Amino acid sequence: MPTVSVEGRQPSTEGPVAHSARARSFAVHLLVAAAALVVAILAAWVSRAVWRPGPLPIPWGLALGVAGSGAAVWLARAAARSLGFTVAAGWIVGLAVLLAGGPGGDLIVIADTLGYTFLVVATGAVIVAAGWGGWNA
């Protein structure tokens, strides 16, 4: 059946299948962003764990939080480049929620050396993992 253009525009070649694929892609990106928000909260929470076997404390939670955050972005980016950026954006939104604090002050990211180290190192790891490969990828 021939299609007629309206107002000089080309007729749409997208059918219900293309719209369904776009809706699925949007839903996947939304779910991945929500999961990244949870990863950010859990990473910030575990980053407070420190093992003190002697005079030198070992911040194993900080290492685990940074590695987990970077791995979440890296794994999503392995599936699709846009998913990597979606995870990075969701992770940063999750961190922003934590930084907002509450009426009593800091929630999980406490304003001390460990908290600031987590903010800088984990955010850097997430941004680097999302942008790794640049224009050649």
Q: What is the mean pLDDT of residues 56-76?
A: 93
What SS3 string covers 64-80? HHHHHHHHHHHHHHHHC
Q: What is the mean pLDDT of residues 94-101?
A: 85
Q: What is the mean pLDDT of residues 22-40?
A: 93
Residue 111's alpha-carbon distances to 67, 78, 101, 119, in angstroms, are 21, 34, 11, 10
Q: What is the mean pLDDT of residues 25-49?
A: 93
Average per-residue pLDDT for the chain: 84
Q: 8: left (phi > 0), else alpha (psi -120 to 50), else beta?
A: left
Number of residues that this document lists for the chain: 137
pTM of the model: 0.78
pLDDT digits (tens, 9 = 90+) for 1-27: 555 555 666 655 566 656 788 889 999
CA angle, corner 133, sides to 130 and 134, nearest 5? 85
- pLDDT score at 15: 60
pLDDT at 30 over 90: yes
Strands (E), the chain: none
Give the Cα separation of 35 and 72 in Å (integer). Answer: 9
- pLDDT score at 9: 62
CA-based nearest residue to 74, from 127, 27, 33:
127
The residue that leads in pLDDT, 106 or 136, is 106
CA-based nearest residue to 91, from 52, 118, 60, 114:
118
**Token digits of residue 13:** 């070649």
Q: What is the mean pLDDT of residues 74-79?
A: 92
Q: What is the mean pLDDT of residues 60-86?
A: 93
